[in-house]
Amino acid sequence: MTEKYSCTIDAPFGTMYAFAENGALIALSFTDEQFSGFAENPDYPVFSALRLWAADYFSGREPKTVPPLRPHGTPFQLEIWDMLLKIPYGKVVTYGELAENCAKNRGIAKMSAQAVGGAVGRNPIAVIIPCHRVIGAGGNLTGYGGGLHLKLKLLELEGVVTSDMYFPVQ
């Protein structure tokens, strides 16, 4: 029988909505996503681990442990999300750099930065899988499901110098 639970986590930038399945986090976001069949259970062990992680992170400290994660996605998305997990706390990379690394890992000449961006944009576990650490070329703060102002706040919380970064022109 599948265990499916949800809870909310208070964070300085708003409420986070967490969903877990069989002992692992499958989704975390600042938007109230609707998942059917999830029972509210704030005492579920993965949510206790998530609260410890969040307490460290939102206090401006790099968390020492990550709660169990099991995001659902395509093999390509999972590959990109694994790459995101390897971006160090307080650092940023560009979509182009991720694409280059992906191509290198696959032993191919080139990978589309847009394809990588599409996978980054579908990351279901915000903040922990740090898609906010990916920026466009030249410091462009393009794309973030929680909004670009939140992306900027998360980067600043991690101590990233953001003075050369900018919001895309609409």
Catalytic residue among 92, 131, 141, 152: 131
**Beta carbons within 8 Å of 94's beta carbon, 6+ residues apart:** 113, 134, 135, 136, 137
In contact, 66 and 134? CB cutoff 8 Å:
no
Tokens 């000449």 correspond to 109
Residues 18 and 124: their CA atoms lie apart, in Å, by 10
The yes-or-no answer on residue 131 being catalytic is: yes
Residues 97 and 86: their CA atoms lie apart, in Å, by 13
Q: What residues are labeled active site?
A: 131
